Chain A
């Protein structure tokens, strides 16, 4: 079955620690995205990538980093510079052909600070 897999489902971060959230897709999509969701707020775009080896900052990129070495994978690192990391993180992908981009979402990772 095609889809997007995020792991882990729950993650805990200690003070000063970097953590990496995994996102893998087998939909053969060119574009991938990371969104952050806070309670009572909409989703906010962290980073996006339209093609392998290229990515752009979204609206709230500070304290985060990404890589796109393979088409299927778009991991997100939450660095110690991100002072308020507790949130639900959603990865998505789309064909990247322009027009009405239909985003397919993973099931999310809940990150909490210890």
Chain B
């Protein structure tokens, strides 16, 4: 079945860039997503990328996709303490898969002064 893997922890200093990595196994993945979860809350969609793209930028967020290696990354520029949260990578095959996303375990990002 599909599998999505992420490293569990990342710690960065305020103002530095954060890079969160994700690998996936499903070669039919059409869309790849990044979600953010703050403590005790639901998930919030940050951004997504279509599999025929290799980069997408949205303000402080940059998504890089290496489809050959099935590797996805999220770069957060000028990381702030408010960026401390769990970040989930997810994938779907699109089409009739609708919202049947496969999620990674989540990466806990800690931003310290």
Contacts and interface: CB of A to CB of B under 8 A. Distances in A.
A33 interface: yes
B48 A102 contact: yes
28 contacts: A31-B99, A33-B99, A35-B103, A42-B90, A42-B103, A42-B104, A42-B106, A43-B101, A44-B103, A90-B42, A92-B42, A92-B43, A96-B99, A98-B94, A98-B95, A99-B94, A100-B33, A100-B94, A101-B31, A101-B92, A101-B94, A103-B45, A103-B99, A103-B101, A105-B43, A106-B42, A107-B41, A108-B42
Contacts of B97: 101
Contacts of B99: 31, 33, 48, 92, 94, 96, 101, 103
Nearest to A99: B94
A103 B99 CA distance: 7
Contacts of B88: 42-43
A100 B103 contact: no
A103 B104 contact: no
B107 to A, nearest CB: 11
B100 A105 contact: no
A25 interface: no
A41 B45 contact: no
B23 to A, nearest CB: 13
